[in-house]
Structure 1
Amino acid sequence: MTGDALWTSLDAEAATAGRATGPAWAATGISIDSRSVRPGDLFIALQGPNFDGHDFVGDALAKGAAAAMIHRPVEGLPGDAPLLTVDDTMDGLVSLGGVARERSPALIAAVTGSVGKTGTKEALRLALEDQAPTYANVGNLNNHWGVPLSLARMPEEARYGIFELGMNHAGEIAPLSRQVKPHVAIVTTVEPVHLEHFDSVEAIADAKAEIFAGMGPTGIAILNRDNPHFARLLAHARTQGVGRIWSFGDHPDADARLTDCSLHANASAVSAVVMGEPVQYSLSAPGRHWVTNSLAVLLAVKALGADLSSGARGLARITPPKGRGARSRIRFGRDGRSGSFLLIDESYNASPASLAAALTVLGQTDLGPQGRHVAVLGDMLELGEQAAALHAGLREDLIARKVDLVFACGPLMANLYDTLPPAMRGGYAPDSAALAPLVADAVRDGDVVMVKGSLGSRMAPIVAALQALEPGGDAQNGLRTATGA
């Protein structure tokens, strides 16, 4: 490797057993999407059931890509186009990721769990990045192509690497773990998520335990001591030969034990004992779930040999990611209405556990004069035969959290909406596109509006419609951005 190059043509050729043609090149990044290619990227032309990246190789090179990885001829390219030809581009991507992992001196942490993966990964990045060069996968690139892509992007100078591992079915996490080979693995929690693909929550725990597959006797597993499936995960970790197993939570035997916390509308103050060391810190992300996962983060800091006090200070910079609790103040003035409301964007995903946590945060958030707590809810997907009952069961949480008004969309949320007291019913529509104008017309000064639903429920357009109420807001641009994620 030379200079700031992530991959040279010689390195990539050797890593993939491919054939480089055209002038020598040095890539500073990797992209699999021609729309977001940056100058200097190596563009990898992946082929899927509904797309073929080979159709966009010319576009990528025109945007300044350093080279393109292909596995079939591409028409219309200059004879001297910088190309790396391999047997299969997906296999080539995995090979790049594997070589990047082998050459890296970084200590590696992996994070999985039914909920809280991305937030925990980002919190760990903040806890470590002031101590040494730290790399974490972008967003939630946590699947069969996102993980090798993230590995291939890891710079050699990184001393800590953090990777999120996700799944929808059994057998998906184990190969990802074997690619990442984590020194430390966090399982945030096990909850009834993706039940459509599993016979039981216990089966989900078994699938999450696949994260231990890439570890060994020197590895450290970090588990939620308060979760009902702790013993099951513990047994899996021991069976798979993980050297040490640490735990976090309220439990008196937890290695990172919460001793006190003060939950506020916009932050939390936390006191804990981590491996016998008292620590106090603040989180700028509200909610008890952030507090619990912060204990796992600090255990990981300790497991990776980093400084605990510095890690705790880094947690003060946590902000909820887009679609996972991000907040914005929307000021509006149209149709005889004016004022502002607080928007809580939870539109990226939803499960019974994450929705319960989000409703708790909504109920704790301060209102303006005459304001209301408003929940805008879309279907929670992949819940199998229990889906209708789990949606209807949200009624008690909504009432307990003193939610004033509920808007809902989707056939599953109809099971909830029909059970609500009439005064709580703000509006129902079959889909988010039809619900968006109802919500936008109903918001008023002082409200707190939380939007949440599974990704497949497409709740982001509702967020965009609410953001577009602000003078200068562009509803169409917002909708394109939100639905193109």
Structure 2
Amino acid sequence: MPLTLTDVLRGSGGELAGESPRDVTFERAVIDSREVRAGDLFIALKGERVDGNDFVPYAIANHAAGIVSDRAPGAIPNRVAYVVVPDTLKALQDVGRYKLRQVGPEVIGVTGTVGKTSTKEAIAGALAQSRRVFKTERNLNTEIGVPLSLLALEPEHELAVLEMGMYVPGDIRFLAELTNPHIGVVTGVSYTHAERVGTIERIAEAKAELVDGLNKDGIAVLNGDNSWTRAMAERGKRSVLFGLEEHNDVRATDIESRGLEGISLTLQAGGASERVDLKLVGRHSAYHALAAAAVMLSLDCSLAEAAQALAASPGESLRLRVLPGKGGITVIDDSYNSSPLAARAALQLLSELGPRGDRVAVLGDMRELGQYSADLHRQVGAAAADVAGLLVAVGEEAREIAAGAGQAGLPGSQLLATTDPQQAVEFLRPRLHAGAYLLVKGSRAMGLETIVQAFAE
């Protein structure tokens, strides 16, 4: 069921302008005029710095089949369906809601301060072994990204796995109201967002908006090893706890790393157990698998079915890439984003690869940590000192990372703190050897892709 002009008009309540055609089916909906292809619907959103209405002529020149705008049309070709609405963002959200209700999949929302995208992928991958599953692409998890994703729903989709992010409190509440989820997964709560939100208590309350926004029969799937998410089980919804500790409903034991090939673990729930080999990399990814298993059990699958589905899942990561490197090294590119928990997880993976002398860590700044930033960067530096034989810290907080590593015993000759990724490249080039593992971990604003590009083949 492709997106039609009728969907747009009914969902948005907009008016069709002038001589616009009425029987139109769109290939895609896009909000960036540079991405418009023939047959697309261009929705002209207003941003802080640019107004999408200014780019309507470019979208039409790129053969857009339709436009949604809050401005009256100028001279436009008769082939273009031009829909006028009072507010283009609200129109996008309303059409996304309309499309979701039209198709009617059961919605699984995923949020948390770390691991949202990887958990979403694990859940969708496992469910897709037996069901028709829709998922938000990449990390389209905002009040814009979620409804934009929903416009691609098809009639065969039985389940929709939707990542839900936040910029400020209230964002997740809105996304829950938009999508009416039946299952809400909260991966954990940590200090990410502290710069904007303030305290970890307020961060936890904002993430709990997903639990509060579940439908009347909703199920909260919660990381039971995290005290903040575990407390969400007291918010009046049926809950399923997952984790490594004994009190969890779904837990993993006997976790074994197979290096870059994946992990093996024993799933336990309801008195049953299943040994499973996963293609997910790193011990921390056990939590992604456990969340997926908990969701499947909540959908009345057996533990055996969950284990089989997880074993068959591809284990692909949208973030972490393992790349062959120049001179016989291996590059582990995890440079999309970072947080204290994610950095520690990446370092744990590095610790499982080769002897200490073969392990090299490049760590960039972790953003949005507010008053906790300096201390958390030092803690990650100390953790790196326990794992890596060589450490490069890049960014404004590089000195804090280096200070933590130095205090933990890493010699100064094996350590560099810099704000310049190119300087990091020059420091590393003579120090890397065949068989080395180069981990690159940091927030995307750090420009660490320069380092990845320098050493990946």
Report the TM-score when normalising by structure 1: 0.86
Amino acid aligned to 1:108:
V
Provide closer, same or farther for how the CA distance between residues 366 and 20 of structure 1 changes in structure 2, counting only shifts above 3 A. farther
Q: Deviations over 1:375-420 (max 9, x none)?
A: 111111111122112112223311222x011111112121122452
Provide closer, same or farther for how the CA distance between residues 431 and 77 of structure 1 changes in structure 2, counting only shifts above 3 A. farther
> Which of residues 342, 365, 384 in structure 1 aligns to 2:370?
384
Cα distance in 2 for residues equivalent to 1:20 and 1:7: 16
Residue aligned with 2:396, SS: coil
> Which of residues 331, 341, 345 in structure 2 aligns to 1:353?
341
Amino acid aligned to 1:379:
D
The equivalent residue for 1:422 is 411
Cα distance in 1 for residues equivalent to 2:402 and 2:328: 27
> Which of residues 297, 300, 303 in structure 1 aligns to 2:298?
303
Matched, 1:326 2:321: yes
The alpha-carbon deviation at position 310 of structure 1 amounts to 4.2
Equivalence map 1:339-378=2 (5 Å): 339-366=327-354, 372-378=358-364
> Which of residues 312, 325, 334 in structure 1 aligns to 2:307?
312
Contact 1:184-1:304 at 8 Å conserved across structures: no
Amino acid aligned to 1:94:
Q
The alpha-carbon deviation at position 459 of structure 1 amounts to 2.2
Provide closer, same or farther for how the CA distance between residues 426 and 35 of structure 1 changes in structure 2, counting only shifts above 3 A. farther
Cα distance in 1 for residues equivalent to 2:230 and 2:280: 29
Identity, % of aligned pairs? 32
Contact 1:188-1:223 at 8 Å conserved across structures: yes
Cα distance in 2 for residues equivalent to 1:396 and 1:408: 12
Contact 2:109-2:185 at 8 Å conserved across structures: yes
For structure 1, the 5+ residue unaligned runs are 333-338, 471-485
Matched, 1:31 2:5: no
Residue aligned with 2:227, SS: coil
Matched, 1:10 2:32: no
Residue aligned with 1:393, SS: helix
For structure 2, the 5+ residue unaligned runs are none
Q: Which moved more, 1:88-97 or 1:65-74?
A: 65-74
Matched, 1:47 2:35: no
Cα distance in 1 for residues equivalent to 2:429 and 2:59: 39
Equivalence map 1:170-249=2 (5 Å): 170-235=169-234, 237-238=235-236, 242=237, 244-249=238-243
Amino acid aligned to 1:233:
M
> Which of residues 463, 471, 475 in structure 1 aligns to 2:452?
463
Q: Deviations over 1:90-145 (max 9, x none)?
A: 11100111111222221110111111110010011111112121100001111121
The equivalent residue for 1:477 is none
The alpha-carbon deviation at position 146 of structure 1 amounts to 0.9
Matched, 1:406 2:391: yes
Contact 1:375-1:406 at 8 Å conserved across structures: yes
Amino acid aligned to 1:430:
T
Q: Deviations over 1:20-65 (max 9, x none)?
A: 3422310132211222334432221111012222233333334343
The equivalent residue for 2:281 is 286
The equivalent residue for 2:15 is 19
Contact 1:250-1:259 at 8 Å conserved across structures: yes
Provide closer, same or farther for how the CA distance between residues 203 and 65 of structure 1 changes in structure 2, counting only shifts above 3 A. same
Provide closer, same or farther for how the CA distance between residues 438 and 103 of structure 1 changes in structure 2, counting only shifts above 3 A. same
The equivalent residue for 1:258 is 252
Cα distance in 2 for residues equivalent to 1:156 and 1:85: 27
Cα distance in 1 for residues equivalent to 2:425 and 2:85: 46
Provide closer, same or farther for how the CA distance between residues 96 and 461 of structure 1 changes in structure 2, counting only shifts above 3 A. farther
Contact 1:143-1:165 at 8 Å conserved across structures: yes
Cα distance in 1 for residues equivalent to 2:306 and 2:39: 33
Cα distance in 2 for residues equivalent to 1:28 and 1:314: 32
Cα distance in 2 for residues equivalent to 1:444 and 1:229: 43
The alpha-carbon deviation at position 198 of structure 1 amounts to 3.2
Contact 2:111-2:210 at 8 Å conserved across structures: yes
Residue aligned with 1:26, SS: coil
Residue aligned with 1:135, SS: strand
